[in-house]
């Protein structure tokens, strides 16, 4: 085997086997493409579902555009990518020359992909924060929201699950990567994406539904109060008519409460992302905490006996 073939073989094994580059790249760039393409449509659908003032509508539209704009995302992606690059380079790449540069550019580009998705999440959370801050000024097209809620909810669940799955493979790739590690201290820095991304992804998965529920609740109780006020202001009626109106009001209340349940904060659909987050956390704890590691080993050994 020539020297060039030897370097090519080592590069292939480093990137594919140790850095897990193909799988991480597939999930990283695939997830980025998904959130930017589908996210643009979903955020537009969300805004069109709400009755907003011109000022608030303009704010939300601007934020939604920033969420899928590379220029605005760079506010988030650049610092995250730079920090990631510093961490990876500090850990020490194996090989020399072109092979080393390839590993560096390839792994740093995956940080960039993750940072783009992270930027989208940050802007989306900010959009929902704007909605929460102004929820009393937002009128909900209730039937429209109920109809489109599944689409919006599925997008947040799928994108969050995709992000956690990509994070698991990426974190595992950094653990198996054949870094040279000039000092053991740099191994701790590999937890940076986990600390930064995982909590944010989980918040992104649940916070939108919390805001939906808050707006929906306000709209429901506002309508109930309006109905009660209308009944009180109505002309003097007979006892029979009053009982019929109160019965109608009770039926409307019940119907509105049933509609409210159609927007859960946590549902069975979240189980996949929750399990992934649990596995991710367990993996880190297993790596870093010897006490818990010994417990888990003895626990599973006792089960398998």
Tens of pLDDT, residue by residue over 212-262, are 888 877 777 777 777 667 666 656 556 556 666 666 666 666 666 666 555
Phi/psi for 241 (5° steps) reads -65, -40
Residue 125 has pLDDT above 90, yes or no: yes
Q: Which two tokens stand for residue 174?
A: 């950094």
Q: Which two tokens stand for residue 85?
A: 């690059």
Residue 67 has pLDDT above 90, yes or no: yes
Look at 6 and 303; give whichever has higher pLDDT. 6
Q: How far is residue 127's CA from residue 50's CA, in Å, rounded to a whole number?
A: 13
Per-residue exposure over 51-82, b if at least 16 CB sit within 10 Å of its own CB, e if not = ebeeebeebbeebbebbbeeebbeebbeebbe
Structure confidence by residue, pLDDT tens digits, 268-290: 555 555 665 666 566 655 555 56
According to DSSP, the β-strands at 50-51 and 139-140 are antiparallel
Phi/psi for 292 (5° steps) reads -65, -35
**Per-residue model confidence (pLDDT) at position 210:** 85
Q: Which two tokens stand for residue 125?
A: 């959370």
């Amino acid at each position: 085997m020539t020297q060039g073939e030897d370097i090519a073989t080592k590069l292939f094994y480093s990137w594919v086997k140790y850095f897990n580059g193909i799988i991480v790249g597939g999930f990283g760039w695939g997830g980025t493409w998904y959130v930017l393409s589908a996210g643009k449509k979903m955020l537009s659908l969300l805004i069109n579902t709400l009755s907003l003032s011109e000022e608030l509508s303009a704010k939300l539209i601007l934020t939604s555009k920033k969420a899928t704009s590379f220029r605005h995302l760079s506010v988030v992606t650049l610092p995250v990518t730079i920090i990631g690059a510093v961490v990876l380079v500090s850990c020490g790449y194996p090989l020399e020359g072109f092979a080393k540069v390839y590993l560096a550019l390839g792994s740093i580009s995956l940080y960039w992909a993750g940072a783009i998705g992270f930027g989208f999440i940050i802007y989306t959370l900010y959009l929902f924060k704007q909605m929460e801050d102004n929820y009393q000024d937002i009128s909900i097209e209730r039937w429209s929201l109920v109809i489109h809620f599944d689409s919006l909810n599925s997008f947040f669940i799928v994108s969050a699950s995709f992000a956690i799955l990509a994070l698991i493979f990426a974190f595992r790739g950094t653990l198996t990567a054949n870094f040279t590690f000039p000092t053991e201290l740099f191994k701790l820095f590999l937890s940076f994406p986990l600390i930064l991304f995982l909590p944010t992804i989980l918040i992104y998965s649940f916070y939108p539904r919390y805001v939906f529920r808050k707006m929906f609740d306000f709209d429901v109780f506002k309508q109930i109060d309006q109905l009660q006020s209308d009944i009180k202001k109505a002309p003097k009626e007979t006892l029979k008519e009053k009982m019929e109106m109160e019965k109608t009001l009770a039926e409307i209340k019940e119907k509105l409460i049933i509609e409210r349940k159609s927007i859960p904060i946590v549902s069975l659909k979240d189980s996949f992302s929750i399990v992934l987050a649990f596995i991710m956390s367990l993996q880190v704890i297993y790596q870093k905490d010897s006490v818990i590691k010994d417990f888990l080993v003895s626990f599973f050994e006792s089960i398998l006996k």
